[in-house]
Amino acid sequence: MKFIDSARIFVKAGDGGDGCVAFRRETYVPRGGPSGGDGGRGGHVIFEADSGLFTLLDFKYRKHFEAKSGEHGRGKDQYGHGGEDIIIKVPLGTIVHDEKTGHLLAEFEKHGDTFVIAKGGKGGRGNMHFATSTHQAPIKAEPGVEGEARWVTLELKLLADVGLIGFPNAGKSTLLSVISKARPKIADYPFTTKTPVLGVVSYQDKSFTMADLPGLIEGASEGVGLGIRFLKHVERTRVFLHLIDVLDPTHPDPIEAYDLIRRELKSFKKEFLERPEIIVLTKADRPEADELIEKTKKYFQKKKKKVFIISAAASKGLNPLLAETVKNL
């Protein structure tokens, strides 16, 4: 499924039905007495959070949503039926802004949360409401009120418990594919995941969501590469697993590579540096990496950082890493 994390759509609530001017037949009552009913309310446009959705892809193909208008009132004191509401399902983590004003309208963090994004117009009153002792045969009725309409922007920020961060080809996709049923694209050349991938990880009696986030590059906080599109998905993760390949040919110094990623996080939002972080030295099945892995491990241990050495491909060191991850949730 293609991952789409932003969209622009138009929503239009239904108009209220017009009130009716009508009279019943009744002896000695002027015109038989007013009997025009009220118009029905226009349908609302409602967003509803659905934990089964992970992308805004549907909104790429459909951009206009319009609810039904309410029926007009009828004679014999009959009210018009209300227009049917439209329910629009959105993924957890969706944020909705009014395009014109930029105001935040809603954000969805729990399954089943709802928000009326466009209210249906109120139905007009029929002439049965306007009779008085001095005016017993009113020919007045109200028109229905027009339903709300607006362009809105949708932005998806993933709701993941754990975020995998690191340079491209650090082993994030491989790790996620081994410990969950997620199937991110994996390559044996310098390659970056272009879209976030979510997986559910189960360890002992615990389950949590883990996101394979697009690989950071220098300048990401200023929009280079995937830039802001990556960093916004980091915002809601509770724990970072910072993966480092000590033999990465594009970043031969693992300490410098780590510091660069941290600078990009800080440049985007200083609070990121306060999140729990676990250092993961990857691809430990390569004998030529042993010496550098040990040296890097000692460096981080002196900094009081939790360090784990793994090989996802060989399923080495994964249980201790998962146990520590669960502790931080």
Q: Where on the phi/psi map is residue 58: left (φ > 0), alpha (ψ -120 to 50), or beta? A: alpha
The Cα–Cα gap between 281 and 259 comes to: 15
Structure tokens at 239: 């724990």
Burial of residue 313 (number of CB atoms within 10 Å: 0-12, 13-18, 19+): middle
pLDDT value for 54: 79
- Compute, in degrees rounded to 10, the torsion defined by CA atoms 267, 268, 274, 277: -100
Q: Are 253 and 261 in contact (CB under 8 A)?
A: no
Give the position of tokens 């017993």.
136
Q: Which of 305, 318, 193, 192 is nearest to 259 (CA)?
A: 305
Q: Which of 3, 32, 34 is nearest to 20 (CA)?
A: 34
For 35-101, give the DSSP string.
-PPPPPPPPPEEEEEETT----THHHH--EEEPPPPPPPBTTTBPPPPPPPEEEEEETTEEEEETTT
107-112 long-range contacts, Cβ below 8 Å, gap at least 24? 108/47, 108/49, 109/49, 109/159, 110/49, 111/49, 111/50, 111/51, 112/48, 112/49
pLDDT tens digit sequence for 83-141 = 999 999 998 889 999 999 999 999 998 999 999 999 999 999 999 999 887 888 899 99
pLDDT value for 136: 83
pLDDT value for 280: 96
pLDDT value for 31: 64
pLDDT value for 146: 97
pLDDT tens digit sequence for 228-256 = 455 666 777 889 999 999 999 888 899 99
The Cα–Cα gap between 298 and 225 comes to: 32
Q: Write phi, then psi, for 273 (nearest 5 degrees).
A: -70, -10
Q: What counts of helices (H) and strands (E) characterise the chain?
A: 6, 14
Give start and end residues of each alpha helix (H) in the chain: 58-61, 172-179, 227-234, 254-268, 290-302, 318-327
Helix, coil or strand: residue 12: strand
The Cα–Cα gap between 96 and 116 comes to: 11
Domains of the chain from N-terminus onward: 6-156 (2.70.210.12), 162-327 (3.40.50.300)
Q: Which of 46, 54, 56, 121 is nearest to 83 (CA)?
A: 121
pLDDT value for 214: 64
Helix, coil or strand: residue 10: strand
pLDDT value for 267: 81
CB atoms inside a 10 Å sphere around CB 134: 5
Q: What is the pLDDT along the chain (329 residues), one digit of tens a residue?
A: 456 778 999 999 999 999 999 998 776 666 678 999 999 999 999 999 998 887 888 898 899 999 999 999 999 889 999 999 999 999 888 999 999 999 999 999 899 999 999 999 999 999 999 988 788 889 999 999 999 999 999 988 777 789 888 887 888 888 988 998 766 554 443 444 456 677 889 888 888 888 887 655 444 334 433 444 556 667 778 899 999 999 998 888 999 999 988 887 888 778 888 889 999 999 999 999 999 999 999 999 999 999 999 999 899 999 999 999 999 98
